[in-house]
Amino acid sequence: MYWGIALFLGVVTAVEVAVPYIEALDPVRVPLLIVLAIIKFGTVVAFFMHLRYDKKLYRTLFLFGVIGVIPLFVVVLLTMHAF
């Protein structure tokens, strides 16, 4: 199973690298790259880090940090008048 997941991750990475060079994808480049990164992130966390099968407590503890990044981003960018 792990080899198949690695192959999948390799293919997604190849697509990621190709996206900036395909002019036709320019209008959707940013959201597409973000979605591809989320897919890779989620695949590694779920299967290689076994969070999909492990205790719910571990998932909660980790998600607390991942979701916590969102207000952190907003606060930092607002504080520095990025918007």
Contacts with other proteins, residue ranges (CB under 8 A):
2-3, 5-6, 9-10, 13, 16-17, 19-20, 30, 33-34, 36-37, 40-41, 44-45, 47-49, 55, 57-58, 61-66, 68-69, 72-73, 76-77, 80, 82
> At its nearest, how many Å lie between other proteins and the CB of residue 55?
7
- In SS3 terms, the chain reads as CHHHHHHHHHHHHHHHHHHHHCHHHHHHHHHHHHHHHHHHHHHHHHHHCCCCCCCHHHHHHHHHHHHHHHHHHHHHHHHCCCC
Taking the least distance from each CB to other proteins, the nearer of 2 and 24 is 2
